[in-house]
Structure formats: C-alpha cells, structure tokens
Amino acid sequence: MTRSDASPSVVWVDGRPLAYVAARPTGGRQRRVAPLLLVHGFTGSKEDFDAVLPGLAADRIVVAIDLPGHGDSPGPRRPEAYDLPALAGWVLGAAGSLGWERFHLLGHSLGGLVTQRVADIASTRLRALVLADTGAGAPADEAIEGLEAIATAVRRDGLAAGWHERSRRAAARAAGAPDPARETFDRRRFHELEPGAVIGEARALVTATPLRALLCGFEVPTLILHGEHEDIWPEPDQRLLAGLIPGARRVVVPGGHTPQLDAPQAWLGPVRAFLAEADR
C-alpha cells in the first residue's frame, strides 16, 4: 500500500514556492532505496503522473512537482525565465529543498530535456535517469509548427486562443475518441497556466540542441522509455537519443506521447524494474 499527500505541499526555491505531491510506502520496513523526482512536460503538471504515482511509490518515496507557471506553482511573467537551464535549476533546487543528496530523476517530454540539463549541472547526485517520451533536442518539424502556433496564439490573444489551437491540433492527431474527463481537466489546467511559461517553454523546445558532450560521456544509468505511437519525438529521434548515451536501455510501451496515462501498468513495469536494478 502507498500513501499520497491529499493536497499539494510546497518547497521554496530561490524565494519562490514550488508545489508538489508526494507518495510513500506504508506498512512494514522498506529497504533503503533512492527517492524519485518526477518532472512533467510542456503545459503539463504533477497530475500527469497520477495514474502511476501509487505504483512507483510501492517501495520508495516519490515526488511529482509543478514547474513554475504550471499547476499550483506560480511563475515569472517573462518568457525568458523558462529556458531549459533555468528550469533545470528549479528541479535541482527542489531536490535540495527536499533534503535529497542523491535521487532518481524522471522527465517526461519537455521534462526530459530539463532533466538532461540537471544531469549536466549535477550528474553525481543522480542514481538513475529515466527519459520518457522525449528527445536529445528539438522535436519533429510538425510538432515545432504546433508549438509555434500555440505560443503565437497565446502571445497575441491569450490562453483561450492558445487552448483552441492546441485542442484543434490534438484532435487531428488523436487515434480514438477523446476522454471527456481528461479533456475537461486539460482545458482547465491550460487556462490556469502562466502565459509567459507557454511562450518561453515553446521557445525552449523549438531551439533545443543535443548536449552531445554530456550525453556521449554520461555514466548515470539511463532508461529511454516511449510509447509505440510517440509522434512528438518519433522512432528516429528515440534511436538517436539512445545511441548518444553509452549503455542506455530503450523500452517501447503501448500508447502515444503520454503512455503513463494511456497504459499505466505497461509503463510501470519497466520503470520499476529499472529503478530497482539501479538501487542495487
């Protein structure tokens, strides 16, 4: 059994609050294992891991954060405050505020690019790294076009216009019928974003370049995990990322860009096995 905090908690990083939810094992003695920090993607939030948080916390403390400007974390208005190194500093600051010396780190989508920058800053603090549905650099051309359109709509006409552009493009990509509850939540969450975060992170995504010097000499155990229908960083991008990191393991699971929501049990299996192996 696991226990999840009922409401968001807060850590302070550089004088600003960063919201998170935590889950931890309950009952019995657990062997000493490293905690796990989860980092969401573009326009996402800590709730992107709700379906897998209890399973991940079966044998370790797990924390999912809201990056600045997302969810329950207020953020700066300036788009320039949301470049990848700045976001990596927030993630590392959160781990420090939690009192974690060494920990596992998992980044989804944009969060995967952020966690690569965390490794660039402080690889010795990482026990293992999971790069989920992300890439080594900017995403595919079609995704870049969508990011630019969403950011432009937000800058010109506000979040409602950005949501319209995002949902229109998501509907064109969808393989099946949408989940009404998920769509309602996504709409509300998008409208609560800091506009500067949408614009700044879109800019960070489309200009991202591979950290080749870091990745080629990377010594942290790394799992590359993605859905079989991943289309933001499709199969060639996944092979490139895996090829850049010595010894990286690549696993394909059912689902699209968010397999932790599409097929949580299939996603949990390889992640838990990889983290347990890294702990040993």
Intra-chain end-to-end CA distance of the chain, in Å: 22
Specify the pLDDT at position 31.
63
216 pLDDT band, cuts 50/70/90, is confident
33 pLDDT band, cuts 50/70/90, is very high
Instruction: Give residue-wise pLDDT tens across range 71-108.
Output: 999 999 999 999 999 999 999 999 999 999 999 999 99
Beta pairing class for 2-4 and 9-13: unpaired
Instruction: Give residue-wise pLDDT tens across range 251-263.
Output: 999 999 999 999 9
Give whole-number Cα distances, 76 to 11, 170, 205, in Å: 17, 27, 18
Specify the pLDDT at position 213.
80
Specify the pLDDT at position 2.
46
CB of 38 within 8 A of CB of 131?
no
249 pLDDT band, cuts 50/70/90, is very high
Specify the pLDDT at position 190.
98
Instruction: Report the percentage of the chain scoring pLDDT > 70.
Output: 94
Residues 6 or more apart whose Cβ sits within 8 Å of residue 274: 128, 130, 221, 223, 249
For the chain, which residues make up each domain, given as ranges? 2-139+209-279
Domain 2-139+209-279 CATH superfamily: Alpha/Beta hydrolase fold, catalytic domain (3.40.50.1820)
CA distance 75 to 83: 13
Cross-strand bridge partners of residue 222: 129
* Across 22-36, 79-93, 167-181, 200-214, least confident range: 167-181
One-letter amino acid for residue 250 of the chain: R
29 has a pLDDT exceeding 60: no
What percent of the chain is helix, strand and coil (3-state, nearest 5)? 50, 20, 35
Specify the pLDDT at position 85.
96
Q: What angle do CA 199, 201, 202 make, to 5 degrees?
A: 65
Specify the pLDDT at position 215.
83
- In terms of Cα–Cα distance, which of 96, 103, 8 is closest to 50? 8
| Two tokens, residue 68 | 């600045």
